[in-house]
Structure 1
Amino acid sequence: MTTTLPVEEKHFQAALTADFYGYENLLPEEERKLLLKARDVVRSEVKPLVNEYWAKGEFPRELVDIFRGLGLAGLPYEGYGDPLPAASNLLVGMVSMECTRTDASSATFFGVHSGLAMYSIYRGGDQRQRDRWLPAMAAMDTIGAFAMTEPLGGSDVAGGMRTTARWDGENWVLNGAKRWIGNATFADLVVVWARDEADDQVKGFVVEKGTPGFSPVKIENKIAFRIVENAEITLTDVRVPEANRLQEINYFRDVAEILRATRSGVAWQALGVMIGAYELALDYAKERRQFGRPIARFQMVQDLLVKSLGNITASWGMLVQLARLQDAGIFRDEHSALAKAFVTSRMREVVAWSREIFGGNGIVLDYDIARFFADAEAIYSFEGTREMNTLIVGKAITGKSAFV
């Protein structure tokens, strides 16, 4: 019996050193062109900025123009600026990987806007709301943020959300606080999640810049994602009209559908960090000489590189199938949870091994690897910790909940 390969042998040439099995070749030609466009723009325009601003802990405003020129913010949302009539989830994931391969902070700025904020409106808004906000967001003329995590609520935010919403007959009145909200210091709109005092259900609200009572303050002294302007937000009698309540969000299970999709995006980011760190370590090993020869000739260095490549290849294969499940419409919470838990754990190993190859040079920004090492810790933690995602998968495979 003859097996037909999905890619012709003559095309099996990975564009990236880390793409050992040629996963990129699974993309149709038109989609791969968009991926290569993202690769070129991010490498040529984003990379020169990141170390300076990462060291200062500031967001370079020119990033907005760079990603606007890339033209991919509306990629997953048919009819709202996407350059393809129906982009696959595999392309969306690989674009996220590509951005993170250069810098996790700037990729997160883009992911918060294009993923968390835009998808909340795309999935949670009615047609009028989608038409009202998404075209400008796809063009990146309007920048979005997503506010769910709270100062006292991370993993337990579903049942323990303290931010409240109360209908006073004319407007919704929001009170509470949010923390770790990326882009919030400069975003034009923020999707805020709050518990309705009347029915105890979580609902979504679009709070526009300048709304009285909405106060974002930048979080300082971070050791990771230093380019991202995370904020702590205070909401004091913030009045929001019914037209700004996401009409298709009525229960937390609706919110969970959004998180299911964005959690898979974080797994793709983790893959990008692995690839970026591995590429840096591989290049360094070929150039760095000790005992009169490149350290790439040392068996222990090769061992670290091969283990890293194995983690990358296994994770990439998992995410390819995850994207296929999304495209087929049979994508479940436990699918994205397993990917997030597994891939971010493998990422932690790869950045540690890669930094080890650099020795003392691995702790300074000059060689880039220190930034990857630090930023990996943020990706490991957000969108559900490894433990929480493990419990989601554990419940799915045993039928028994181990949540407290």
Structure 2
Amino acid sequence: MADLFESFIKNDRQRDLIRMAERLAIRVKQRVPETEENASFSLENLNDLKSEGYVTLPLPLEYGGQQINLYELLLLQERLAVGDGSVALSIGWHMGIMMELSEQKMWTPEKFTMLAREVGENKKVVNRAASEPATGSPTRGGIPETKAVWDGTYYILNGRKTFTTMASVLDYYLVTAYVEDKQSVGSFLIEKGHPGISIEHTWDTVGMRGTGSDDLVLKNVKLNQDSLVEINTKSAKPTPKGWLLHIPACYLGIAIAARNDAIEFAKSYQPNSLNTTISEVPHIKQKIGEMDLKLLQARYLMYAVAEKWDNNVADRDNLGPELAAVKTVATNIANEVVDLSMRIVGGRGLSKKLQFEQYYRDVRAGLHNPPMDDMVIQMLGNRALTE
């Protein structure tokens, strides 16, 4: 079977990164039945990611990382997702956050150094807790109902965060809240086990069950001023976030897994009505070709935009529409590829004995990750109308 990653590898460093992702993909794939049943993120998977040093890769060299660029992040995430999309999407949030903090210098040097050392030396993992029941997706602009009230000594936080990926195994949470004394939204860095924090196992979704995206509950959480690491300024213009391409990379990885499994099935399955395997049947060949054509379209777009991001730092503020377009194109094509793979396999694709039904459930979740299709189309339309 053709190696779909070979044509995107440019040097020995990237080949080594791909090999790391391959090793991890093999291990995490073995735990899929467990995470599917429990709807939780496997601690064993996290330990593997930490032991390989995967979680440190976005860090600058001085903190023990490899300072990977966006192109390399996508190679890693896409290949890891071939093993388990839930693992790739989950750790992708940590990877992207650390990449953004390293490159954008959003925190004071002291605060960033503290977290960078925790990640580099102790392999700590962080994710943002931003979504809430009332606000929906943070990208829609809702104000958090989680409140941070200054009592003269501490900030007191109360609220509930939904869809907190890897909630039960994270080492740090970046919690968004409305900071009353600042009259603005801010983010607090909170260590696991801090008094007042608890996890409620609410993750009952049909897809991406292994992300363990449970609720984070905050009840009278006392935090000092140093815990407030970010504060949004109303005058600040939103800037594109290249690292969010970890989302389309993940779903394309799932599609590749479905494509690979469908080809293996086609090459091995021979009904007694044929004197050959179904791989020789014209309409099966047609569907395989369609899968590869769609993957070529989405992947070349994704990696081209990533390369543009890496090579044109001064022009990044203008890449928002391209980044958004990659997500929409990739996630929709990923759904189409999984659908084609199941048409190749037929009714057996719905069996729990095969993984196609999981690919089908998992890949659907990509449509609901930010940015949403309607926002992307409107963004492109507005840009065209203002040219």
Q: TM-score, normalised by structure 2?
A: 0.89
1:112 to 93, 110, 120: 93
In terms of mean alpha carbon deviation, does 357-366 or 272-281 score higher?
A: 357-366
SS in 2 for 1:206: strand
Is residue 135–residue 144 contact of structure 2 (8 Å, CA) maintained in 1? yes
Q: Which residue is equivalent to 1:336?
A: 323
Is residue 24–residue 32 contact of structure 1 (8 Å, CA) maintained in 2? no
SS in 2 for 1:227: helix
SS in 1 for 2:207: coil
Is residue 38–residue 70 contact of structure 1 (8 Å, CA) maintained in 2? no
1:390 to 348, 372, 377: 377
Q: Which residue is equivalent to 2:349?
A: 362
2:233 is aligned with 1:251: yes
Is residue 135–residue 142 contact of structure 2 (8 Å, CA) maintained in 1? no
SS in 2 for 1:246: strand
Q: Which residue is equivalent to 2:299?
A: 316
Q: Which residue is equivalent to 2:152?
A: 169
2:179 to 196, 200, 203: 196
Q: Which residue is equivalent to 2:201?
A: 218
Q: TM-score, normalised by structure 1?
A: 0.85
State the AA in 2 paired with 1:96.
Answer: Q
2:27 is aligned with 1:41: no
Query: Which aligned pairs between 1:133-212 and structure 2 lie closer than 5 A?
Result: 133-138=115-120, 141-155=123-137, 157-212=140-195
State the AA in 2 paired with 1:135.
Answer: R
Is residue 148–residue 177 contact of structure 2 (8 Å, CA) maintained in 1? yes
Is residue 72–residue 83 contact of structure 1 (8 Å, CA) maintained in 2? no
Deviation of the 1:243 alpha carbon: 1.1
Is residue 298–residue 330 contact of structure 2 (8 Å, CA) maintained in 1? yes
In terms of mean alpha carbon deviation, does 155-164 or 229-238 score higher?
A: 155-164
1:162-182 Cα shifts (integer Å, max 9, x gaps) = 223233332222232211110
**CA RMSD of the aligned region, Å?**
2.5
Deviation of the 1:69 alpha carbon: 2.3
Deviation of the 1:314 alpha carbon: 0.9
Deviation of the 1:394 alpha carbon: 2.9
Q: Distance in 2 between matches of 1:229 and 1:253?
A: 36
In terms of mean alpha carbon deviation, does 336-345 or 288-297 score higher?
A: 288-297
2:261 is aligned with 1:275: no
Give the number of equivalent residue pairs: 378
Distance change (3 Å), C-alpha of 1:83 and 1:131: closer
Q: Distance in 1 between matches of 2:258 and 2:280?
A: 19
1:176-203 Cα shifts (integer Å, max 9, x gaps) = 2211110112322100112223444321
Deviation of the 1:215 alpha carbon: 2.6
Distance change (3 Å), C-alpha of 1:161 and 1:208: same
Query: Which aligned pairs between 1:346-357 and structure 2 lie closer than 5 A?
Result: 346-357=333-344
Q: Which residue is equivalent to 1:260?
A: 241
Distance change (3 Å), C-alpha of 1:255 and 1:200: farther
Is residue 131–residue 161 contact of structure 2 (8 Å, CA) maintained in 1? yes
Is residue 127–residue 172 contact of structure 2 (8 Å, CA) maintained in 1? yes
SS in 2 for 1:193: strand
Q: Distance in 2 between matches of 1:39 and 1:51?
A: 19
Aligned identity (percent) is 20
Q: Gaps (5+ residues) in structure 2? A: none
SS in 1 for 2:61: coil
Q: Gaps (5+ residues) in structure 1? A: 1-14
Deviation of the 1:120 alpha carbon: 5.9
2:8 to 24, 46, 52: 24
2:79 is aligned with 1:92: no
State the AA in 1 paired with 2:8.
Answer: E
